[in-house]
Amino acid sequence: MLHACVYATIFLGFFGIIFKENLVMKIIAMDVMSTGVIALFVLVAARTGVRTPIVGLPNEGYADPVPQAVILTAIVIGFSIQALMLVGVMKLARDNPTLETRAIEEEYRR
């Protein structure tokens, strides 16, 4: 059931990117999709019975810290890309009265 919710989040973001006309809504949909992908990675990598690797504890099953670092890096990169896209939309909004993609494309065709 949890897998279905995560996949629904990914597809919701994907269809939002395709079908929304407003650029800010496209950015939000991209953020929803990336959140779903990160949740999928966390869900797939989740295991029970493992501990954090701390020096001095008896040798038991330890969680691998590399996937955790990769997920944290993906979160930071996603946040920076979202901020960069919002700055681009702000600069685009200075010249255009609307943020609808069709109106902007028609304006630049003239």
Tell me: the pLDDT tens digits for 40-96? Answer: 998 888 777 677 777 666 667 777 778 888 899 999 999 999 999 999 999 988 888
Does 26 reside within a domain? yes
Amino acid 107: pLDDT: 81
For residue 77, is it within any domain?
yes
- The answer to the question of residue 84 being in a domain is yes
Give me the domain span that covers residue 92. 2-48+63-109
The separation between CA 72 and the C-alpha centre of its own chain, rounded to angstroms, equals: 12
Rounded Cα distance, 15 and 20, in Å: 8
Range with lowest mean pLDDT among 11-25, 71-85, 93-107: 93-107
pLDDT computed for residue 55 by the predictor: 67
Domain membership of residue 102 (yes or no) is: yes
Please give the radius of gyration of the chain, using alpha carbons only, rounded to the nearest integer: 20
Give the amino acid at 87.
Answer: V
For range 96-106, the mean pLDDT: 84
**Structural domain total, the chain:** 1
pLDDT given at position 58: 67
Read off the CATH number of the domain in which 28 is found: 1.10.287.3510
Cα separation, 45 vs 40, in Å, equals 9
Q: Is 35 exposed, middle or buried (0-12, 13-18, 19+ CB in 10 A)?
A: middle
Residue 8 is encoded by which pair of tokens? 């629904």
Residue 58 forms part of a structural domain: no
Residue 79 lies in a domain: yes
Handedness of CA 99, 85, 17, 35 (dihedral sign): negative
What pTM value is reported for the model?
Answer: 0.78
